[in-house]
Amino acid sequence: MADNVRKGITQNVPAAVTFHLSREYSAQHYGDSEEELFAQMAAEMKPWLGDSKIVAQKLHRWRFSEPKAEFGQPCVWLPDMRVGFCGDAFGGPRVEGAAISGLAMARKVIEDLELG
């Protein structure tokens, strides 16, 4: 759960929160309707929302939000082909991991250009 004011999405009005579902739950219930999911989640959200009244709700699905496999290195650079691979499957399944992986790739490319 995240308060959207702290995330910078809404301005000074604690009126919106974001709930994230686990990878397993999301995969198992991907085909459920929004109504079914919100009904299932209502009890789980109650401790966080208390007696707050929900006036609107929105579901956003990301089918490929996390990599299914992760590599043990921050990126892969194939200098002979001048092709590289980076992203959250290399740096960790979060935005930060993808950014770190991208920076590692940039360093590899720069190094290759300087040597070449």
Provide the pLDDT for residue 16. 72
Non-local (6+) Cβ contacts of 87 within 8 A are 67, 98, 101, 102
Provide the pLDDT for residue 60. 87
pTM of the model: 0.53
Report pLDDT digits (tens) over 25-51.
Answer: 888 999 999 999 999 988 888 888 888
Provide the pLDDT for residue 103. 96
How does the average pLDDT of the chain come out, rounded? 84
Sign of CA dihedral 87, 92, 95, 99: negative
Provide the pLDDT for residue 12. 60
Provide the pLDDT for residue 8. 60
Residue 81 pLDDT greater than 90, yes or no: yes
Provide the pLDDT for residue 109. 94
Report pLDDT digits (tens) over 94-115.
Answer: 788 899 999 999 999 999 988 8
Confidence of residue 9 (pLDDT cuts 50, 70, 90): low
Tell which residue, 25, 55, 52, has the closest CA to residue 41.
25
Tell which residue, 93, 90, 96, has the closest CA to residue 74.
90
